[in-house]
């Protein structure tokens, strides 16, 4: 007996949903699912794409490689539509989608067991390590480092020992941080130093119980932001792709306009503060000490009008008189959002608020607070720099109504 159902929409994590409410992993809108067989069989529709990676779906880095670009862009917009307090604004810009092989930072795991080294990503929701031969997300420079890194770690790790790998592609080369890899003794230091030289690393650091130690710095890793060269701390937070960063920065600049006095909250290394400082005086705040220090040094050297403050905005949001006189406030919090800061802004007279978010759910909560406080969401820029992932980013402009 036939039990054929069509996939009519996608859940927040990318599972297909049939008209009668059944969830089907790895199904796209337009697919049909035959539930008369066990397991149910997916009959691909017009937007079902072949996976770009041999490790999909075991590897937990991607959830949506079975969608073509048209369906993926629709997923991004639908993901935002569900959380916005008043639907998509009239001025909703096209989704900025980062290309394959553009990820410039990655965190991987390694494990040596029975003399064999596995290196890759954890399967979603488990501790199982998927040993990757190729990743269509990683920049070619990072991907090329993985084979020699396997040889290094196989020689340096004991059986049963795991390690963490953080790779960042700076403007000056790769910044590599190894966790739980011994740098004790002359032989270990020489092996790691030789590896850095052989593969032209900008910097190699190790992290152990006592913290992070930089063993080799052949060149200071830097990034250029808004025309300013910023020195990078070890394993810094930066936007995952250059294309994604460019899209976010262009959106923030457009949303801020020609404002003269701007606050950049949760500023990090200055991704927005430095481009904004080309035409505005900027107050930049963040709790991340190394990032704030790097931003301060870079801004002073460049003669930019950036006042940098080290401040925990979760505990002490910018509020009251501190917000007076600001033309625009930009805030770009972590995934948890910035509820306390949103409430302080909702009680303020700041004319324009620009929210940058990497989590539609927390953004929806914070946006609701701003709207209930008298702001209107007037423009939205969706950004999908984590290609094939359910991870969605955005920039939104809120204007206070008179």
Neighbours of 257 (CB within 10 A): 14
Q: How far apart are CA 287 and CA 270, in angstroms?
A: 13
Query: Going by C-beta distance under 8 Å and a sequence separation of 6 or more, which residues neighbour residue 189?
Result: 183, 215
End-to-end Cα, the chain, rounded Å: 63
* Residue listed under structure tokens 């007996």: 1
The helix-helix angle for 140-156 and 186-198 (nearest 10°) equals 160
Distance (Å) of CA 262 to CA 43, 238, 252, 295: 52, 21, 11, 16
* 3-class SS of residue 273: helix
* Residue listed under structure tokens 């059986």: 159
Exposed, middle or buried, 341 (CB in 10 Å: 0-12/13-18/19+)? Answer: buried
Q: How far apart are CA 163 and CA 51, in angstroms?
A: 29
Q: Which of 53, 62, 135, 358 is catalytic?
A: 358
Residue 343: cis peptide before it, omega within 30 degrees of 0:
no
* 3-class SS of residue 191: helix
Phi first, then psi: give them for residue 89, nearest 5 degrees.
-70, 165
Sign of CA dihedral 344, 347, 349, 350: positive
Query: Going by C-beta distance under 8 Å and a sequence separation of 6 or more, which residues neighbour residue 355?
Result: 330, 331, 332, 363, 366, 367, 370, 394, 395, 396, 398
Residue 365: cis peptide before it, omega within 30 degrees of 0:
no
Strands 4-10 and 105-113: unpaired
Question: Is residue 358 flagged as an active site residue?
Answer: yes
Q: How far apart are CA 16 and CA 33, in angstroms?
A: 10
For the annotated catalytic residues, the residue numbers are 358
């Amino acid at each position: 007996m036939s039990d054929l159902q069509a996939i009519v929409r996608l859940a927040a994590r990318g599972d297909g949903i049939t008209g009668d409410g059944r969830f089907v992993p790895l199904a796209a809108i337009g697919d049909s699912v035959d539930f008369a067989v066990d397991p149910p069989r997916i009959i691909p529709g017009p937007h079902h794409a072949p996976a770009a990676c041999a490790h999909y779906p075991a590897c937990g880095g991607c959830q949506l490689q079975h969608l073509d670009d048209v369906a993926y862009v629709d997923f991004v917009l639908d993901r935002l539509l569900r959380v916005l307090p008043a639907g998509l604004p009239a001025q909703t810009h096209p989704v900025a989608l980062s290309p394959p092989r553009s990820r410039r930072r990655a965190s991987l795991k390694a494990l040596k067991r029975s003399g064999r080294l596995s290196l890759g990503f954890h399967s979603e929701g488990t501790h199982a390590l998927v040993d990757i031969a190729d990743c269509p997300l990683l920049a070619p420079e990072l991907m090329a480092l993985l084979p020699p890194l396997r040889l290094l770690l196989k020689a340096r790790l004991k059986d049963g020992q795991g390690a963490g790998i953080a790779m960042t592609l700076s403007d000056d080369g790769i910044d590599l941080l190894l966790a739980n890899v011994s740098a004790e003794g002359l032989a270990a230091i020489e092996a790691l130093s030789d590896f850095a030289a052989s593969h032209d690393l900008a910097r190699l650091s190790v992290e152990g119980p006592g913290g992070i130690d930089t063993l080799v710095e052949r060149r200071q890793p830097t990034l250029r932001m808004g025309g300013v060269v910023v020195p990078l701390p070890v394993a810094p937070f930066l936007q995952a792709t250059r294309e994604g960063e460019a899209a976010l920065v262009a959106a923030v600049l457009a949303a801020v306009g020609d404002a003269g006095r701007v606050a950049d909250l949760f500023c990090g290394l200055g991704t927005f503060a430095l481009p904004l400082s080309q035409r505005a005086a900027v107050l930049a705040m963040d709790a991340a000490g190394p990032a704030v220090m790097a931003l301060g040094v870079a801004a002073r050297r460049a003669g930019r009008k950036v006042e940098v403050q080290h401040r925990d905005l979760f505990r002490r949001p910018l509020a009251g008189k501190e917000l007076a006189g600001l033309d625009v406030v930009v805030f770009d919090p972590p995934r948890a959002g910035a509820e306390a800061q949103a409430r302080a802004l909702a009680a303020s007279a700041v004319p324009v608020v620009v929210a940058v978010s990497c989590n539609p759910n927390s953004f929806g909560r914070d946006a609701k607070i701003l709207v209930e406080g008298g702001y209107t969401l007037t423009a939205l820029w969706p950004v999908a720099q984590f290609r094939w992932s359910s991870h969605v980013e955005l920039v939104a402009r809120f204007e206070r109504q008179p």
